[in-house]
Amino acid sequence: MVNPWAGEVALTLDGRVHVLKLTLGALAELEAQLHAEGLIDLIERFEAGNYRSRDLIALLCAGLRGGGWDGSARDLASAEIEGGAIEASQVAARLLALAFGPVGGSA
């Protein structure tokens, strides 16, 4: 079970539910991988819808790793995501909203 108050969201990969969370380490990895100039740059990219599928995979992968998953971006890219690309995008949006939204806000 996920705890949204702790910034957690869930994603089902290959029939198994995984917890995603953007820890500080996961965010640092994400910034480096996406060549973001900082967290604001990263957030603005996603808010503006100016991201690519590889950005989405990187964000989800970072969140999965923050939740304890030890897979790779390649593993994620080849996984069956329940709900497909739309669910993946919605999970990514919730993940960012919980990580950077107002405390006590809804996502």
Give the type of residue at 64: L
Tokens 């080849």, located at residue? 78
pLDDT band for position 102 (cuts 50, 70, 90): low
Position 42 scores a pLDDT of 79
> Per-residue pLDDT averaged across 71-78, rounded?
94
Record the pTM. 0.86
Show the tokens assigned to 47: 């808010």
